[in-house]
Chains A and B, each alone.
Chain A
Amino acid sequence: MEEGGGVTKKFLYVNRKAPYGSIYALESLEVVLIGAAFEQDVSLAFIDDGVYQLKKNQSTDGIGMKNFSPTYNALGDYDINKIYVDKDSLEQRGLSLDDLMNLTYEDENDNYAEKPSISLVNSEELAALMEQQDVVLSF
């Protein structure tokens, strides 16, 4: 636990960009992982091209960049299990939930049952989610 002063705030990380065209996705993930040490109430949202960040079976062989997508699988172990994906953004790109990585967490309040971390939301639900937050970091 670092300098949080015992305060718990609601943090939302909004991811809007594709994973390899720019560094925003990777550096967003770095903030999320460091931030996990502060034990805040964390949610992640993926909208627009950001939904590509969660696409399964990513391969970066042809572009000489590190494939960092396996790291998203570790989020559940950091107690980051509220991952919201904009349904319209997925559909506009010809994708569905089945095209995304199966991100899960173990629910300690339910005998450590494995549960899905990803929820599909519409734009109204996303707006309501943002409204609830104390801190919104947009990447």
Chain B
Amino acid sequence: MKLGIMVSEGPYQHQASDSAYNFTKAALEKGHEIFRVFFYHDGVNNATRLTVPPQDDRNIVNRWSELAKQYDLDLVVCIAAAQRRGLLDENEAKRNGKDANNIAEGFRISGLGQLIEAGIQSERLVVFGD
């Protein structure tokens, strides 16, 4: 089955990102196709490479990056939600006159249209929120 995933909460504070990750990984291992994972609301914080979790805990951001690499996953961060929360890629940092960027490997920043497209193209869009 072709699935779309939406993640609406940030890492660590809510379980939503963990559940989304575990669901996505399990679906891929079962041979399902993940059309896209879309990060919205505080979910955009799953994409910052500046998180430093304790070493004996899971690294939620790296885990997504590794899954993306392994399965060529499309991890998309909403640009409007990202900008108001301080998530920038190199281009957006430059465009907005900021001195740093923080997007982790495997994620890309794009518009909300990517979420709607995931709803249209996927057989199921599964939302992970609070």
Interface residues on B, range: 10 to 19
A9 and B119 within 8 A (CB):
yes
Q: Which of A7, A11, A24 sits near B41, CB closer than 8 Å?
A: A24
Question: CB of B129 within 8 A of chain A?
Answer: yes
Question: CB of A2 within 8 A of chain B?
Answer: yes
Residues in A neighbouring B113, C-beta threshold 8 A: 2-3, 34-35, 37-38
B116 and A27 within 8 A (CB):
no
A47 CB → nearest B CB, Å: 15
Residues in A neighbouring B53, C-beta threshold 8 A: none
Q: Which of B6, B8, B116, B127 sits near A34, CB closer than 8 Å?
A: B116
Question: CB of B117 within 8 A of chain A?
Answer: yes
Question: CB of B28 within 8 A of chain A?
Answer: no
Question: CB of A70 within 8 A of chain B?
Answer: no
Q: Count the A residues whose beta carbon is within 8 Å of the partner chain — how many?
A: 23
Closest chain A residue, CB of each to CB of B6: A137
A11 and B117 within 8 A (CB):
no
B127 and A4 within 8 A (CB):
no
Question: CB of A64 within 8 A of chain B?
Answer: no
Q: How far is the CA of A2 from the CA of B6 in the complex (A)?
A: 20
Question: CB of B50 within 8 A of chain A?
Answer: no
Question: CB of A117 within 8 A of chain B?
Answer: no
Question: CB of B40 within 8 A of chain A?
Answer: yes
Residues in A neighbouring B67, C-beta threshold 8 A: none
Question: CB of B27 within 8 A of chain A?
Answer: no
B82 CB → nearest A CB, Å: 12
B111 and A27 within 8 A (CB):
no
**Which B residues form the contact surface with A (CB < 8 A)?**
6, 8, 40-41, 80-81, 111-113, 115-117, 119-121, 125, 127, 129
**Which A residues form the contact surface with B (CB < 8 A)?**
2-5, 7, 9, 11, 23-24, 27, 30-31, 34-35, 37-38, 40, 134-139
Can you sample 14 A-B contacts with CB below 8 Å? A3-B120, A11-B116, A27-B40, A27-B80, A27-B81, A31-B40, A34-B116, A35-B115, A38-B120, A134-B119, A135-B125, A137-B125, A138-B129, A139-B8
The 10 closest A-B pairs by CB, nearest first: A135-B119, A34-B112, A35-B116, A3-B117, A38-B116, A2-B113, A135-B125, A4-B120, A7-B120, A31-B112
